[in-house]
Amino acid sequence: MYEKETTIINKTGLHARPASEFTKLASQYESEILIKNLNTGKEGNAKSIIAVMSMCMSKGTQVTIAAKGNDQEEAVDELVALIDSGFEDIDL
């Protein structure tokens, strides 16, 4: 298992388009990937748009991204980089 902690910095949090981009990226990896809202303790499948959106992750929410599998490090690093970018490359 490989994991990293980060903070949601984009103004809309992980809702709608950012959540869609996040789950689309997560789905590209073979590893099992979980996202945990450290403010509430809720945890869900990072490849599920329903799970991600139901976790109510707004700006400032601390999260842990954890993965287990052959590409776990790449998956976690890329997902954390997406969050840390503030989803700059998508039209919010």
In our burial notation (b when 16+ CB lie closer than 10 A, e otherwise), range 36-65 reads bbeeeeebbebbbbebbbebebeeebebbb
Using CA atoms, how far apart are residues 63 and 84, in angstroms rounded to an integer? 11
Residue 11: active-site member = no
Q: Would the CA dihedral through 61, 15, 27, 24 be positive or negative?
A: negative
Query: Parallel, antiparallel, or unpaired for β 32-37 and 62-68?
Result: antiparallel
Q: Which of 15, 42, 44, 78 is catalytic?
A: 15
- Mind telling me the catalytic residues? 15
